[in-house]
A and B are shown apart, each in its own frame.
Chain A
């Protein structure tokens, strides 16, 4: 450690900081695009399922059937898109995309209810999008359940109560009450924003680091650096320090933006978040440095990152839940820094987890950074010989 703060190292550090300071474009490119990306991504990527377009076939034409359709459409989940007269018409509308779901209320609906016979209402869901279908099913069943519960105790429902009461051997029913913790309003953007945050740190960090490292080689000044008495470690660490500094400014900026634009709660200690962000930035820089040692020009570094980044993004759980990734890809999730930062950001900000709850994620980020930096030093040395 004493070696790191030698005179030699400080000189290198000064040089790197001066270079960054003069490179206005780099500084700008570290602040402006990430901000825009954070805003745009988080606005655009939204999994909320609401206002599903519902088509109705009402063969019953009775007050009872109308009360069911109004219960269905007065919720925010479904929106009445039109009445249809036969199933083929309804099917065509679903296939054209005019409707997301359809309900068929049978002819004898009211009669059966009045007689105390259970009646089945058919829901047709466009299941092409599996997620929308699963959530729509949950909505529909919830609405029907609450409709059943709200059926007036006199009249229709009374028949059912009576039939049921006659059965002595009847057992009780489990009643499940769900409560949503931490995000009772179910705001979709909180999940995406925290994921995109990690994505930006890693992607921007590694891109900038790769370009900065490669630049020295492109211009040909790398020989001069290598000729200097500084060791490989010193050269690389000195290169990283100013990048880290600038990127951390981006972290502060992005955090403020998240707070202002998306109104995410900050339940946890902000220092935990910043510590995670710092490690995340470092692992991004480390990744970029490794990419740089494999390439000879900014163009090649870009081409390489073009293929590494989508892969990293997909198996990170930043945009889609990590639990949904199949088991054979889970090893990639475990070593993915984006995943660990997303977990840290979500736990700390939304759930208020302390360091003691999420230290394993910190450990992985730390080990990842260490491996990346060592690998880049090793590759760097190898290129010398």
Chain B
């Protein structure tokens, strides 16, 4: 135990001396969380739509006002003698609302008044959102005008867990996990690979320290780094992202400890296996960033991954932690919903540790 702590103390001293490492730990995760958490969103706002009002009556203007009043759309009036498609090809608008002649007359007469919405579907997700919002605005306009028939069946929507449908609240916890999956293991890898590169690892071999003690010392250090990151990022989640624990925080706390172990062990493993800082860094970038970014349901749901590669996501440690963090901050399902995910993170962490240990043991004999 004393040797482990000594090893940890040495590592911490090294980190504190290295300004770049400090920046990696303190500043970059923060920046990443703010930038990515704000920028990644599929929910549109202020989307330009071209409006061609061929009717130009009080009713049509009122109808356009309903679109103008929404946060989603931003109305750009478009000359009626030009094809609306040209607004799409030059990217001036994403959709076009065309109100035909006699719109006002039809409304006054009590007959259905057709309106056309052309949507640029080159971005299919946005196109669907536009159609949904435009439909809602039309329904609301019809209802508020007291016109039209009463719909027999009405759908009342309840949005659970994230009633404001805020993208930030959904992506914030994911980016939090992403940051924890990159920076602590990156630092661990650099520190471990450096010893291999500069051959100071030979001194470790000839010392009386065992492979277990060496690894645990390293891992403990970078677990502390992960906790430090976690505290900084949580502050941001609580303030800027407006999140709070939705229920029992203990699954989050337990899995946070396990996840810190998991990523620190991953970084150390890569550092042991590849004694070259540049190459090892690339491996961590690959594992920490790409896999967690793409295969863990961070931006898009896992169910959308084609089935041939979807099984891969079962091995991605970040996936389970993302689920747990989202549950802790948004759903509050607690232990019944997440216990098995906590166990899986622990198992993956132990696997990383065993692999690193095997690697170290072999090297020690070789040297």
**Chain A: residues with CB nearer than 8 A to chain B?**
40-41, 43-49, 51, 68, 91, 94-97, 113, 118-135, 137-142, 144-145, 147-148, 151, 156-157, 160-161, 163-164, 170-184, 186-188, 190-191, 297-299, 302-303, 306-307, 310-311, 314-315, 319-321, 323-329, 343, 346-347, 350-354, 357-358
- The chain B residue with its CB closest to the CB of A268 is B89
Q: Does B319 contact A (CB under 8 A)?
A: no
**Chain A residues within 8 Å of B323, by CB:** 97
**Chain B residues within 8 Å of A94, by CB:** 160
Contact of B303 among A51, A126, A190, A314 (CB under 8 A): A51
**Apart from A131-B43, A176-B116, A323-B45, 13 more pairs, CB < 8 Å:** A43-B305, A48-B304, A49-B301, A95-B331, A95-B337, A174-B107, A174-B141, A181-B120, A314-B40, A321-B44, A326-B39, A351-B88, A358-B89
A307 to B231 CA separation, bound complex (whole angstroms) = 21
Contact, CB under 8 Å: A128 / B330: yes
Q: Does B46 contact A (CB under 8 A)?
A: yes
**Chain A residues within 8 Å of B166, by CB:** 130
**Chain A residues within 8 Å of B165, by CB:** 127, 130, 133-134
**Chain B residues within 8 Å of A132, by CB:** 301
Contact of A48 among B107, B114, B124 (CB under 8 A): B124
**Chain A residues within 8 Å of B169, by CB:** 130
Q: List 29 A-B contacts (CB under 8 A).
A: A45-B299, A46-B304, A49-B128, A95-B327, A128-B326, A130-B42, A134-B43, A137-B157, A139-B132, A141-B132, A144-B155, A148-B151, A171-B110, A172-B111, A172-B147, A173-B149, A174-B107, A174-B142, A179-B118, A181-B121, A183-B121, A186-B127, A191-B123, A299-B277, A320-B299, A324-B43, A346-B123, A353-B90, A358-B91
| Minimum C-beta distance from B229 to chain A (A) | 15
Q: Does B300 contact A (CB under 8 A)?
A: yes
Contact, CB under 8 Å: A307 / B121: no
A144 to B122 CA separation, bound complex (whole angstroms) = 27
Contact, CB under 8 Å: B149 / A140: no
| Minimum C-beta distance from B352 to chain A (A) | 21
Contact, CB under 8 Å: A156 / B117: no
- The chain B residue with its CB closest to the CB of A303 is B281
The digit string for B155-167, where 1 denotes a CB below 8 A from any CB of A, is 1111111110111
- The chain A residue with its CB closest to the CB of B310 is A44
Contact of A148 among B90, B121, B153, B304 (CB under 8 A): B153
- The chain B residue with its CB closest to the CB of A112 is B152
Q: Does B210 contact A (CB under 8 A)?
A: no
Q: Does B79 contact A (CB under 8 A)?
A: no
Contact, CB under 8 Å: A140 / B155: yes
**Chain B: residues with CB nearer than 8 A to chain A?**
28, 32, 35-36, 38-47, 63, 85-86, 88-91, 94, 103, 106-136, 138-139, 141-142, 145-163, 165-167, 169-170, 277-278, 281-282, 285, 289, 294-295, 299-301, 303-306, 309, 323, 326-327, 330-333, 336-337
A189 to B332 CA separation, bound complex (whole angstroms) = 34
A41 to B35 CA separation, bound complex (whole angstroms) = 21
| Minimum C-beta distance from B32 to chain A (A) | 7
Contact, CB under 8 Å: A160 / B149: yes
Q: A-B pairs with the 9 shortest C-beta distances?
A: A138-B132, A171-B147, A173-B148, A127-B159, A180-B121, A353-B89, A357-B90, A183-B121, A131-B42
A343 to B277 CA separation, bound complex (whole angstroms) = 37
Q: How many interface contacts (CB-CB < 8 Å) are there between A and B?
A: 332
A174 to B277 CA separation, bound complex (whole angstroms) = 65
**Chain A residues within 8 Å of B148, by CB:** 170-173
Given A119-B154, A126-B160, is A302 in contact with B282 using a C-beta cutoff of 8 Å? yes
- The chain B residue with its CB closest to the CB of A301 is B278
Contact, CB under 8 Å: B125 / A175: no
Contact, CB under 8 Å: A44 / B152: no
A338 to B277 CA separation, bound complex (whole angstroms) = 29
**Chain A residues within 8 Å of B332, by CB:** 95
**Chain A residues within 8 Å of B107, by CB:** 171-174
Contact of B153 among A147, A176, A184, A323 (CB under 8 A): A147
A353 to B121 CA separation, bound complex (whole angstroms) = 14
**Chain B residues within 8 Å of A353, by CB:** 89-91
**Chain B residues within 8 Å of A323, by CB:** 44-47, 94, 126
Given A123-B155, A171-B148, A186-B121, is A177 in contact with B110 using a C-beta cutoff of 8 Å? no
**Chain A residues within 8 Å of B167, by CB:** 130-131, 324
**Chain A residues within 8 Å of B162, by CB:** 127-128, 130, 133
Contact, CB under 8 Å: A351 / B89: yes
Contact, CB under 8 Å: B282 / A175: no
| Minimum C-beta distance from B41 to chain A (A) | 4
Given A134-B43, A302-B282, is A127 in contact with B149 using a C-beta cutoff of 8 Å? no
Contact, CB under 8 Å: A173 / B36: no
- The chain B residue with its CB closest to the CB of A149 is B151
| Minimum C-beta distance from B69 to chain A (A) | 15
A121 to B151 CA separation, bound complex (whole angstroms) = 12
- The chain B residue with its CB closest to the CB of A41 is B294
Contact, CB under 8 Å: B45 / A324: yes
Contact, CB under 8 Å: B127 / A183: yes
Given A95-B333, A157-B152, A174-B141, is A124 in contact with B124 using a C-beta cutoff of 8 Å? no
**Chain A residues within 8 Å of B116, by CB:** 176-177, 179
Contact, CB under 8 Å: B41 / A325: yes
**Chain B residues within 8 Å of A179, by CB:** 116-119
Contact, CB under 8 Å: A170 / B147: yes
| Minimum C-beta distance from B149 to chain A (A) | 4
Most chain A Cβ neighbours within 10 Å, of B86, B125, B165, B326? B125
Contact of B128 among A51, A91, A122, A135 (CB under 8 A): A135
A293 to B346 CA separation, bound complex (whole angstroms) = 43
Contact, CB under 8 Å: A170 / B63: no
A327 to B142 CA separation, bound complex (whole angstroms) = 32
Contact, CB under 8 Å: A178 / B119: yes
Given A47-B125, A183-B124, is A129 in contact with B170 using a C-beta cutoff of 8 Å? yes
**Chain B residues within 8 Å of A187, by CB:** 124
Contact, CB under 8 Å: B300 / A47: yes
Given A44-B305, A171-B107, is A299 in contact with B278 using a C-beta cutoff of 8 Å? yes
| Minimum C-beta distance from A38 to chain B (A) | 13
**Chain A residues within 8 Å of B161, by CB:** 95, 126-128
| Minimum C-beta distance from B304 to chain A (A) | 4
**Chain B residues within 8 Å of A183, by CB:** 121-122, 124, 127
Contact, CB under 8 Å: A125 / B115: no
Given A44-B309, A178-B135, is A347 in contact with B113 using a C-beta cutoff of 8 Å? no
- The chain A residue with its CB closest to the CB of B331 is A95
A40 to B110 CA separation, bound complex (whole angstroms) = 54
